[in-house]
Amino acid sequence: MVYKLAPSLLAADFGIIKEQLAKLDEAKVPYLHLDIMDGVFVPNLSFGLAVVESIRKYTKMVFDVHLMIIEPERYVEQFAKAGTDIFCFHIEATKDAKATVDKIKKCGMKAAIAVKPATPISEIKDLLGELDMVLVMTVEPGFGGQKFMEDQMEKVKELVKLREENNYKYDIEVDGGVNPETIKTCFASGANVIVAGSAVLGAKDISARVEEFAQIAKE
Ligand code: DX5
Ligand code: ZN
């Protein structure tokens, strides 16, 4: 699977957001990860539709939207309209994951499901054949800058195995605590879409960090 970096906007300086996006574009970053939090599903608030819509004008990066909100199915159409490419919701946040996936696809977006650290892959097993991506959280969702949970790599490996056995097509994304050290474990386990907030947007030299990750991906 092709390696793709998805810097998390949560770690950006929102006062100079346009310049930060330009820097990521210059570094040829393919995805932008957008964390939407409602203060209910996770104990934190971030930004919402207006921000997604507004920054859509300034970059062509693929918008990988990670919804940490309850009943994400309520906002599928609106995120599609705002320019979302990948709609990723938490399995723990909805009563009808299958209907949500169908709705996402009907709206022309790619469908992804995220699992919290305590949620096993068995919870999404029936839907794997329909997903474009699976997100394995490597921290408890809610905040940037937390410590990487190595034990979550078991789930990444399980997803690789299930994909091989069933000829599924999904990408495997990891999110939380990724840095130049932990990214190696992610690649070794089989993840190919890498979210990184503080390690990329918090770096002194963003392009250098993007390049460093790209080199590690080739190793
Ligand atoms: C956490 C978010 C992450 C976060 C990652 O709930 O889903 O995307 O921004 O930040 P870092 O890479 O700093 O752990
Ligand atoms: Zn995220």
Query: At 212, is the pLDDT very low, low, confident or very high (cuts 50, 70, 90)?
Result: very high
Q: What is the mean pLDDT of the chain?
A: 98
- Please tell me which residue in 35, 64, 132, 171 is annotated as part of the active site: 35
By alpha-carbon position, which residue is closest to atom 7 of ligand 1?
141
Q: What is the DSSP string of 103-114?
A: HHHHTT-EEEEE
What is the per-residue pLDDT for 193?
A: 99
The rounded distance, in Å, linking the Cα atoms of 162 and 145 is: 30
The rounded distance, in Å, linking the Cα atoms of 219 and 169 is: 24
Query: At 83, is the pLDDT very low, low, confident or very high (cuts 50, 70, 90)?
Result: very high
Q: Are the CB atoms for 59 and 24 separated by under 8 Å?
A: yes
Query: At 165, is the pLDDT very low, low, confident or very high (cuts 50, 70, 90)?
Result: very high
Domains of the chain: 4-218 (3.20.20.70)
Residue 175 appears among annotated catalytic residues: yes
Q: Are the CB atoms for 81 and 59 separated by under 8 Å?
A: no
The rounded distance, in Å, linking the Cα atoms of 97 and 60 is: 29
What's the mean pLDDT in 73-89? 98
What is the per-residue pLDDT for 196?
A: 98
Residue 85 appears among annotated catalytic residues: no
Q: What pLDDT, in 10s, does the model give residues 97-133?
A: 999 999 999 999 999 999 999 999 999 999 999 999 9
What is the per-residue pLDDT for 206?
A: 97
- Atom in ligand 1 nearest the alpha carbon of residue 137: 7
- What separation in angstroms does the CA of 93 have from each of 38, 139, 179? 11, 17, 28
